[in-house]
């Protein structure tokens, strides 16, 4: 059975969820940290590997993660998270079970074309809430 991965378009989800959008308006890092915390819980309970991608931050694509933790990617300053997500999906969808969470309809189409599955922000919320109720 292939490994399962959930790739999350970080800012897309933050702006789609009112509670995270409110945190973002106070301080961006608060919203990112809360989303990562929820994704970590989902990963711990389900065994699905989670990666979250945020829009540009520096001169290079950067990654932060500890072994067995949620992988966190930041796009280059002049690059969108979408580009990284689409590249990951196209590179790995043939070998792994990939699901991408985003609200971006163009990204959804592109990711579906690679063979990966897509969930909306509402569907992602339901997945996370189902784990919390365990």
Length of the chain: 134
Question: 50-66 burial, b for 16+ CB within 10 Å, e for fewer?
Answer: bbbbbbeeeeebeeeee
Backbone angles phi, psi at 112, to 5 degrees: -60, -35
The dihedral of CA 112, 41, 69, 46: what is its sign?
A: negative
Q: What is the DSSP letter of 127?
A: H
Q: What is the DSSP letter of 63?
A: E
Region 115-119 average pLDDT: 96
Cα–Cα dist 111/18, whole Å = 25
Percent of the chain with pLDDT over 90: 76
- pLDDT tens digit string along 7-52? 999 999 999 999 999 999 999 899 999 999 999 999 999 999 999 9
Q: Within 13 A of 12's CA, how many CA atoms are on the CB side?
A: 24
Q: How high is the mean pLDDT of the chain?
A: 90
Read off the pLDDT band of 89 (50, 70, 90): very high
Region 63-82 average pLDDT: 80
- Rg of the chain (C-alpha set): 14
Show the domains of the chain with their CATH numbers: 4-132 (3.40.50.1010)
Read off the pLDDT band of 61 (50, 70, 90): low
Please give the model's pTM, rounded to 2 decimal places: 0.91
């Amino acid at each position: 059975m292939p490994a399962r991965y959930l790739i999350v378009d970080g800012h897309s989800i933050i702006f789609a969820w009112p509670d995270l959008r409110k945190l973002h308006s106070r301080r961006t890092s608060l919203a990112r940290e809360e989303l990562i915390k929820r994704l970590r819980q989902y990963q711990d309970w389900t065994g699905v590997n989670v990666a979250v991608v945020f829009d540009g931050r520096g001169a290079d694509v950067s990654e932060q993660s500890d072994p067995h933790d949620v992988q966190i990617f930041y796009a280059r300053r002049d690059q969108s998270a979408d580009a990284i997500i689409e590249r990951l999906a196209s590179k790995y969808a043939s070998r792994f079970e990939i699901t991408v969470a985003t609200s971006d309809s163009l990204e959804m189409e592109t990711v579906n074309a690679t063979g990966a599955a897509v969930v909306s922000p509402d569907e992602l919320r339901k997945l996370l809430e189902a784990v919390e109720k365990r």
